[in-house]
């Protein structure tokens, strides 16, 4: 399996960000050390677009003051973002041994300002400047990281209103949502400088939510104590509450505090201090190594991984970044998962052991349907394995939902059908196309070649239009597994006949009908009294809602099933030709419904064509079940309330 | 007075010259001196950017902007840049993006603020290929992001969106002949630029696919007159591709996002007719029900929001009723345990309850729709 992820050797965990785990890794092709952020997309409801936004901002940054983005790709439901590796750690980590000296802070601030100068010129706002998001390389280079909430402005002078950031570092104008721009980053920089000097931001003892009220109301924090005049002034300049009077990054670079700052190499002292501190700690640190999850190696164990994923909640950071996102849900329940298991699921058809032949026949088409282009990524593996389980499970997952397995066949057959009948418009073909186009198997092509004579054509049409759908229908409506098995066998037999000798099918029905017509008792039962002339086809006045005993009777003897089959044309509402046929006639102004009010009629038309004419009179329309009309009204009311609810949900999404 | 004229003349020359120089360089990008040309082009482009954008310190001169925009149109630079976007150096691609967005927004100071910006009007009426070429930016990883952001700004204009939807090569009624030539009732051949989005979204690398999807979503959700009609006429082609390429995509992100977008499209009031047509098909319901059993719960969850439309529809078609009735018991059991852990999602819980009620109260046999 060619996988981009294989280009990387993933090593130990570096840390957990606001929504992802970051690992150290080696790019095998270059030997370069990189950092890879793994974002589990399944673990949150968040719009993936927000993560894309982060990548979009990062990937358009080309500055030595910003962590270099390399690439990103999907691995299953995890997104891997590959970044430059910065061995010095974050400023928050580096604060652990002790607060920074003024000299160090000045260097960090200068580098940060250069980074911000670049970003702001690019029309980007970082919006989450804080010690945790400032990374150092081993040589002491300072880089901005975590663009999870960064904004890209299309117009250099436009403003933002979104409420994002981390409360303690947020500028008053951001909190007030009155519209803000690049200056917001300068405020956060001022708070960060205080954080580096004091070990924590101002008001750190306060509840984050309370801080949100506090910041706009109170005068800006000031740096007190034994610090230089320049440093105090620098902080004061950054923390001007009115953004219009707050200097830009460019202005701040000219500040005396910054101009006197030393070289970045001096920051290596901080890194050394941190290493010493780590070494002296009594508690030994066990690096957490990345483990290739079973999920990505073996499809069989994927479910375990899935459960693992859901149980794991996103580790909350100490001062998590406030996003305009919903908190990700925590999923502790494995029980439900077990029930959703493909094999054990309640939706699994309850008729194992039957229709074995049919399954074998259907198998290939399912495999095709389920893996259209699934050669490359791993998601496919499981699916393929599902279908490989298939022989044990006669009725496939696909069928469990509905029109039974014959549906698959119906669709497979359609191409040959439309090519032989030539009566159907182009519009009808799309819908009938199976999930993948190369579905016309070679055997089918052969079949088509066989199909030549008029009788063969009719026979084939008979099978496609009448027998096959009817059997499918019947199979679907039959509850007992024995009965279903019998039907399936019949269906297979017929399919075989159709494949080998469509002419035979034609003659079979012809003979059958003739015999029925001749029998005194059978004729009135199957051929309505109103019928005239040609004994070509029997018909029945029953529709889908028909619940009369005939249905069960029919199953008892094969002959009767056959006899009933053509009448089931009425039932073949699922017949896609018919629907598209109807649709083509429909106009956009809602006459779709006009058409649908009398589906039987169009079916009759269709049936007329299919049976070779003269049959329409024998397909009387069926009425709706009496007594259920009020339900229509009720559900109409429900639907309206419902639709409104839905609209507001989606509307909210669209507006947000 | 003399100095006034002098200044004016000089700036005008400069602003007019830049597009010509840019054209000169851009046409030679592929030649032997490509690298040198790219560098020179980069300089010209960044100058153009400053004229259009100004800086934090310097304001722009509307006069210069006007000259520049007219020059860009005259030299057909929009087209040339769109075609060559992926060949430009990193910074130039971003500059180009900025230039495009300013050029397409520019209105002469005298023009009404409601009028169509000149460059936009020009490409819509006379040079729709610019839009097509911008879409083709998704052919390359390098150009995907800048082309995508320009596109998304452009398709805020309904006319620009129409150009992309109705592009159909040289077919009659294709937007290639300009906006006025579009025949909205003609079935699309499926060879137009819009249909290529399906491949970009399904097969592109993550960055390309993600950006292409964002544009695709905008195209399909922004314009409430244009899109429903387009979808109605091209229903078969569109949903065939949508269901089989996007909803069944191998890419988790594409799959999940396209299911979500499908829900949004169906539930948009303006798409009412499209929705009723969509939820009539048993085949669509089956796809949807299979999504409920995907092994990734966010796929299940997004699938649920499409599934609910089928069930809530008070006029279910017979095939849909049949499938639901046949699976009634299974569905009831399944739904009662479906995503049980979403305990704090009240709306979801309500909706799930509603569906259970609906399915339980369905008649034993399908009833033909009364509408």
pLDDT at B77: 92
Q: What's the pLDDT at B80?
A: 92
| Residues of A with Cβ-Cβ distance to B203 under 8 angstroms | 373
Closest by CA position to A156, among listed B49, B88, B145? B49
Which 189-228 residues of chain A touch chain B by CB within 8 A?
none
Residue A377 in any domain: the answer is no
Q: Judge: A646–B153 Cβ closer than 8 Å, yes or no.
A: no
Higher pLDDT, B27 or A485: B27
| pLDDT band at residue A479 using 50, 70 and 90 as cut-offs | low
Q: Is B150 at the interface with chain A, CB within 8 A?
A: no
Q: Mean pLDDT, to the nearest integer, of B28-48?
A: 84
A601 and A645 housed in the same domain: no
pLDDT at position B325 over 60: yes
Q: Are B145 and A71 in contact (CB under 8 A)?
A: no
Angle, helix A454-461 to helix A406-421, in steps of 10 degrees: 150
pLDDT for residue B345: 86
Q: What's the confidence (pLDDT) of residue A292?
A: 53
Mean pLDDT of B134-147: 94
Share of chain A above pLDDT 90, in %: 21
- Please report the pLDDT score of residue B56 as a whole number: 61
Question: Is the predicted pLDDT of residue A145 greater than 80, yes or no?
Answer: yes
pLDDT band at A490 (very low <50, low <70, confident <90, very high): confident
CA angle at A533 for the pair A530 and A534, rounded to the nearest 5°: 115
Terminal alpha carbon distance of chain B: 78
Helix H segments across A11-162?
A: 48-59, 91-94, 102-121
- Dump the DSSP string for A206-229: S-HHHHHHHHHHSPPP---SS--H
A294 falls within a domain: yes
More confident residue, A469 or A90: A90
- Once rounded to an integer, what is the mean pLDDT over residues A384-407? 32
Are A475 and A506 in a shared domain?
yes
Q: Are residues A269 and A125 in the same domain?
A: yes
pLDDT value for A465? 74
**For position B29, what pLDDT does the model report?**
80
**pLDDT exceeds cutoff 60 at B262:** yes
Check if A245 contacts B (Cβ < 8 Å): no
Q: What is the dihedral of CA A325, A331, A332, A335, to 10 degrees?
A: 170
The closest CB to that of B295, out of A306, A401, A654, belongs to A306
Residues A129 and A191 grouped into a single domain? yes
Average pLDDT taken over every residue of chain B:
88
CB contact under 8 A, A329 and B341: yes
The pTM of this model reads 0.63
- A583 vs A419, A425, A431, A576, B278, CA distance in Å? 21, 11, 12, 10, 11
Q: Considering the domain boundaries, does residue A483 fall inside one?
A: yes
Is there a contact between B295 and A60 if contact means CB atoms under 8 Å apart? no
CA atoms within a 13 Å half-sphere pointing along the CA-CB vector of B249: 28
- pLDDT top residue among B162 and B113: B162
Give A502's pLDDT tier (boundaries 50, 70, 90).
Answer: confident
Name the residue with higher pLDDT: A368 or A632: A632
ipTM for the complex shown? 0.86
Q: What is the interface size between A and B, counted as CB pairs within 8 Å?
A: 260
A465 and A568, same domain (yes or no): yes
Q: Of B276, B345, B366, which has the smallest distance from its Cβ to A544's Cβ?
A: B366
Residue A37 is labelled as binding a ligand: yes
Among A556-570, B126-140, B355-369, the range scoring the smallest mean pLDDT is: A556-570
Residue B295 to residue B293: CA distance in whole angstroms: 6
The answer on pLDDT for B312 being more than 80 is yes
Lowest-pLDDT range of A64-73, A338-347, B183-192: A338-347
pLDDT, tens digit, 9 for 90 and up, residues A422-448: 333 333 333 333 433 343 444 444 444
Decide if A250 and B56 are in contact by the 8 Å CB cutoff: yes
Tell me what the mean pLDDT of segment A456-472 comes to.
Answer: 76
Q: How far is A389 from chain B (nearest CA, A)?
A: 16
Residue from the list A154, A250, A645 with its beta carbon closest to the beta carbon of B101: A154
Task: Using the predicted structure, report yes or no on whether residue A180 has a pLDDT greater than 70.
Answer: yes
Instruction: Tell me which residues of A are annotated as active site.
Output: 128
Q: Find the CB nearest A427 among B236, B263, B341.
A: B236
Residue A340 lies in a domain: no
Average pLDDT over residues A162-190: 87
Q: How large is the average pLDDT for residues B4-19?
A: 58
Q: Is the pLDDT confidence value at B230 over 80?
A: yes
When comparing pLDDT for A529 and A458, which is higher? A458
- How would DSSP label each residue in A135-200? EE-TT--EEE---TT-EE-SSTT--B----B-GGG--HHHHHTS-B-THHHHHHHHHHHHHHHHSS
Q: Which residue of A has its CA nearest to B318?
A: A573
Does A219 reside within a domain?
A: yes
The model's pLDDT over A68-105, given as tens digits with 9 standing for 90+, comes to 999 999 888 888 999 999 999 889 989 999 999 999 99
Asked whether residue A596 falls in the same domain as residue A496, the answer is yes
Same domain for A140 and A198 = yes
A565-585 mean pLDDT: 39
Q: How far apart are CA B346 and CA A354, in angstroms?
A: 42
Who has greater pLDDT, A585 or A268?
A: A268
Q: Is A400 in the B-facing interface, judged by CB distances under 8 Å?
A: yes
Position A142 scores a pLDDT of 94
pLDDT at residue A364 is higher than 60: no
Q: How confident is the model at residue B308 (pLDDT cuts 50, 70, 90)?
A: very high
Residues A37 and A121 in one domain: no
- Alpha-carbon gap, residue B351 to B335, rounded angstroms: 11
Note whether residue A353 is domain-resident: no
pLDDT of B40 higher than 50: yes
Q: How many domains does chain A have?
A: 4
**Contact in structure between A614 and A536 (CB atoms under 8 Å):** yes
Q: Under 8 Å CB-to-CB from A83, ≥6 apart: which residues? A: A34, A35, A36, A37, A58, A67, A68, A69, A70, A145
- Banded model confidence at residue A644, pLDDT cuts 50, 70, 90: low
What per-residue confidence (pLDDT) applies to A27? 92
Q: Which residue, B102, B74, B88, is CA-closest to B35?
A: B88
The whole-angstrom distance between B5's CA and the closest CA on chain A is 31
Q: Does A344 touch chain B (CB under 8 A)?
A: no
**Is B348 in the A-facing interface, judged by CB distances under 8 Å?**
no
Q: Residue B32 — φ and ψ, nearest 5°? A: -65, -30
Tell me which chain B residues have a C-beta less than 8 angstroms from the C-beta of A74: 206, 251-253
B252·A49 Cβ contact <8 A: no
Range of the domain at A305: 4-86+285-311
Q: Mean of the pLDDT values across residues A487-495?
A: 77
Highest mean pLDDT among A226-235, B11-20, B358-367: A226-235
Please identify among residues 477-516 of chain A the ones whose CB lies closer than 8 Å to any CB of chain B.
477
- The answer to whether A342 contacts B344, with C-beta atoms less than 8 Å apart, is no
How far apart, in whole angstroms, are the C-alpha atoms of residue A291 and residue A9?
Answer: 11
Q: Which residue of A has its CA nearest to B371?
A: A593
Whether A492 and A593 share a structural domain: yes
Note the pLDDT of residue B320.
92
User: Of all residues in chain A, what percent carry a pLDDT higher than 70?
Assistant: 50
Residues A449, A546 within the same domain: yes
pLDDT at A523 over 90: no
Q: Is A45 strand, coil or helix?
A: coil
Residue A20's pLDDT band (cuts 50, 70, 90)? confident
Interatomic CA distance for residues B68 and B16, integer angstroms: 6
Measured between CA atoms, the residue of chain A closest to residue B313 is A639
pLDDT at B122 > cutoff 60 = yes
Greater model confidence, A231 or A403: A231
Residue A580: pLDDT over 90: no
Confirm if A251 and A240 have CB atoms less than 8 A apart: no
Owner of token pair 């009240």: B346
**Inside any domain, residue A391:** no
Mean pLDDT of chain A: 64
Across A154-168, A267-281, A470-484, the highest mean pLDDT is recorded for A267-281
Closest residue in B to A334 (Cα) is B341
CA distance A587 to A590: 7
The fraction of chain B above a pLDDT of 70, given in percent, is 95
More confident residue, A550 or A533: A533
Please check whether residues A490 and A586 belong to one and the same domain. Answer: yes
**Quick check: is A323 in a domain?**
no
């Amino acid at each position: 399996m060619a996988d981009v992820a294989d280009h990387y050797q993933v090593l130990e965990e570096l840390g957990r960000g606001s929504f992802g785990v970051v690992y150290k890794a080696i790019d095998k092709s270059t030997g370069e050390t990189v950092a890879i952020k793994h974002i589990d997309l399944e673990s949150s409801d968040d719009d993936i677009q927000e993560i894309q936004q982060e990548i979009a901002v990062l990937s358009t940054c080309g500055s030595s003051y910003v962590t270099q983005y390399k690439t990103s790709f999907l691995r299953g439901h995890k997104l891997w973002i590959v970044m430059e590796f910065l061995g010095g750690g974050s400023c928050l980590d580096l604060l652990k041994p002790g607060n920074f000296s003024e000299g160090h802070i000045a260097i960090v601030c200068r580098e940060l300002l250069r980074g911000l100068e670049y970003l702001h010129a690019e029309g980007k706002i970082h919006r989450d400047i804080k010690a945790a998001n400032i990374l150092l390389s081993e040589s002491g280079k300072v880089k901005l990281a975590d663009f999870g909430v960064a904004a890209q402005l299309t117009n250099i002078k436009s403003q933002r209103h979104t409420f994002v950031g981390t409360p303690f570092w947020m500028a008053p104008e951001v909190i007030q949502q009155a519209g803000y721009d690049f200056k917001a980053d300068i405020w956060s920089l001022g708070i960060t400088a205080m954080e580096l000097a004091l070990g924590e931001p101002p008001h750190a003892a306060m509840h984050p939510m309370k801080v949100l009220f506090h910041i706009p109301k109170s005068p800006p924090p000031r740096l007190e104590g034994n610090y230089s005049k320049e440093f105090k002034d620098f902080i004061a300049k950054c923390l001007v509450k009115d953004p219009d009077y707050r200097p830009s990054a460019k202005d701040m670079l000219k500040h005396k505090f910054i101009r006197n700052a030393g070289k970045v190499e001096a920051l290596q002292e901080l890194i050394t201090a941190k290493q010493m501190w780590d070494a002296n700690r009594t508690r030994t640190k066990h690096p957490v190594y990345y483990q290739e999850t079973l999920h990505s190696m073996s499809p069989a164990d994927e479910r375990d991984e899935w459960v693992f994923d859901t149980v794991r909640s996103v580790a909350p950071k100490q001062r998590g970044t406030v996003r305009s996102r919903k908190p990700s849900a925590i999923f502790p329940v494995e029980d439900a998962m077990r029930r959703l298991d493909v094999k054990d699921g309640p939706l699994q058809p309850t008729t194992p052991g039957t229709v074995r032949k049919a399954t074998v026949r259907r198998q290939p088409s399912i495999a095709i349907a389920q893996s259209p282009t699934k050669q490359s990524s791993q998601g496919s593996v499981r699916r393929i394995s599902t279908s490989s389980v298939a022989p044990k499970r006669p009725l496939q997952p696909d069928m469990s939902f509905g029109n039974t397995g014959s549906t698959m066949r119906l669709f497979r057959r359609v191409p040959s059908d439309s090519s032989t009948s030539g009566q159907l418009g182009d519009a009808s073909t799309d819908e009938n196309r199976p999930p993948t186009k190369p579905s016309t198997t070679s055997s089918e092509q052969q079949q088509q070649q066989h199909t030549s004579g008029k009788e063969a054509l009719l026979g084939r049409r008979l099978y496609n239009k009448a027998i096959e759908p009817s059997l499918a229908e019947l199979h679907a409506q039959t509850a007992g597994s024995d009965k279903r098995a019998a039907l399936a066998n019949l269906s297979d037999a017929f399919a075989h006949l159709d494949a080998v000798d469509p002419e035979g099918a034609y003659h079979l029905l012809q003979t059958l009908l003739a015999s029925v017509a001749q029998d005194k008792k059978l004729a009135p039962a199957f051929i309505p009294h109103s019928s005239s002339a040609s004994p070509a086809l029997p018909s029945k006045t029953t529709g889908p809602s028909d619940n009369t005993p005939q249905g069960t009777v029919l199953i008892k003897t094969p002959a009767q099933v056959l006899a009933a089959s053509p009448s089931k044309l009425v039932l073949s509402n699922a017949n896609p030709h018919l629907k598209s046929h109807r649709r083509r006639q429909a106009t956009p102004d809602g006459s779709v419904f006009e058409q649908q009010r009398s589906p039987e009629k169009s079916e009759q038309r269709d049936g007329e064509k299919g049976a070779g004419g003269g049959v329409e009179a024998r397909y009387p329309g069926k009425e709706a079940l009496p007594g259920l009309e009020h339900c229509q009204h009720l559900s109409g009311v429900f639907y309206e309330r419902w639709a409104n609810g839905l609209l507001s949900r989606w509307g909210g999404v669209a507006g947000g | 007075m003399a100095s006034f004229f002098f200044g004016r003349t000089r700036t005008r020359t400069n602003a007019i010259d830049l597009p010509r120089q840019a054209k000169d360089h851009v046409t030679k990008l592929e030649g032997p001196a490509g690298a040198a040309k790219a560098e020179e082009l980069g300089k010209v482009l960044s100058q153009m950017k400053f004229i259009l954008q100004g800086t934090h310190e310097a304001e722009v001169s509307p006069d210069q902007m006007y000259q520049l925009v007219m020059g860009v149109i005259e030299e057909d630079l929009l087209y040339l840049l769109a075609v060559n976007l992926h060949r430009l150096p990193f910074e130039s691609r971003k500059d180009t993006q900025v230039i495009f967005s300013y050029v397409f927004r520019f209105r002469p100071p005298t023009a009404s603020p409601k009028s169509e910006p000149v460059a936009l009007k020009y490409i819509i009426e006379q040079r729709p290929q610019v839009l097509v070429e911008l879409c083709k930016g998704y052919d390359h990883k390098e150009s995907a992001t800048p082309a995508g952001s320009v596109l998304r700004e452009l398709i805020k204009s309904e006319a620009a969106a129409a150009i992309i939807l109705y592009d159909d090569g040289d077919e009659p009624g294709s937007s290639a002949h300009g906006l006025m030539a579009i025949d909205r009732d003609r079935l699309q051949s499926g060879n137009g630029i819009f249909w290529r989005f399906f491949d970009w979204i399904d097969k592109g690398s993550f960055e390309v696919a993600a950006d292409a999807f964002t544009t695709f979503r905008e195209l399909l959700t922004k314009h409430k007159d244009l899109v429903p009609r387009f979808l109605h006429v091209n229903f078969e082609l569109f949903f065939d591709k949508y269901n089989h390429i996007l909803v069944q995509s191998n890419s988790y992100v594409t799959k999940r996002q396209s299911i979500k977008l499908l829900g949004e499209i169906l539930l948009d009031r303006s798409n009412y007719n499209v929705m009723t047509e969509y939820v009539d098909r048993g085949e669509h319901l089956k796809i949807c029900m299979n999504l409920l059993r995907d092994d990734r719960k966010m796929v299940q969850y997004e699938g649920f929001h499409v599934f609910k439309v089928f069930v809530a529809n008070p006029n279910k078609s017979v095939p849909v009723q049949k499938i639901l009735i046949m699976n009634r018991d299974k569905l009831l059991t399944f739904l009662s345990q479906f995503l049980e852990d979403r305990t704090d999602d009240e709306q979801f819980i309500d909706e799930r309850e509603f569906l259970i009620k609906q399915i339980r109260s369905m008649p034993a046999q399908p009833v033909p729709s009364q509408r």
